[in-house]
Amino acid sequence: MRYPIKISSVWRPFFSLFGFSRKSSYVELNGKTLKFCFGTASETLPVKDVSRISRRRWPFFYGLGPKLGPKGGVAYVGSTEGVVEIQLAKPHSLNVWGPFRRSKARTITVSLEEPQAFISGVRKALKMRADATQ
């Protein structure tokens, strides 16, 4: 299932200049992996590495775009609305933008068009994986 990253309509033209189009900005959940695509950032992680997922506030002064996020993570945020925080069970090396990486990211923050559907999908995938190992 593909979940589009929410990009504020006010900022959409600016983001498009840097390759952050609506078409190429999404998170894809296939049951076993999460694939994040936002501009030049493209990362794939196993769903099993998600330890917690929840909605969170993202004040405008945190900034928009691909960036180093709070709590030692990365953020792919195009809007202050629909923001979800994914906490990882173990640190991952993640692409921020272009050649910039965070070597030990513990969280991924992303703004989504359908945040609650995404959260439900990830929780369902985690439960299915847990049930399969029992």
> What is the overall mean pLDDT for the chain?
89
For residue 66, is pLDDT > 80? yes
Q: What is the pLDDT of residue 133?
A: 65
For residues 57-69, average pLDDT: 91
Q: Render pLDDT for 81-93 as a digit per residue (tens, 0 to 9).
A: 999 999 999 999 8
Q: How far apart are CA 106 and CA 94, in angstroms?
A: 10
Q: Render pLDDT for 15-39 as a digit per residue (tens, 0 to 9).
A: 777 777 778 899 999 989 999 998 8
H or E element in which residue 115 lies: helix 115-133
Distances (CA, A) of 22 to 3, 8, 27, 29, 35: 11, 10, 12, 17, 16
> pTM value?
0.90
Q: How far apart are CA 36 and CA 95, in angstroms?
A: 10
Q: How far apart are CA 128 and CA 110, in angstroms?
A: 23
Q: What is the pLDDT of residue 103?
A: 81
Residue 9 CB contacts under 8 Å (≥ 6 apart), including other chains: none
Domains of the chain: 2-133 (2.30.29)
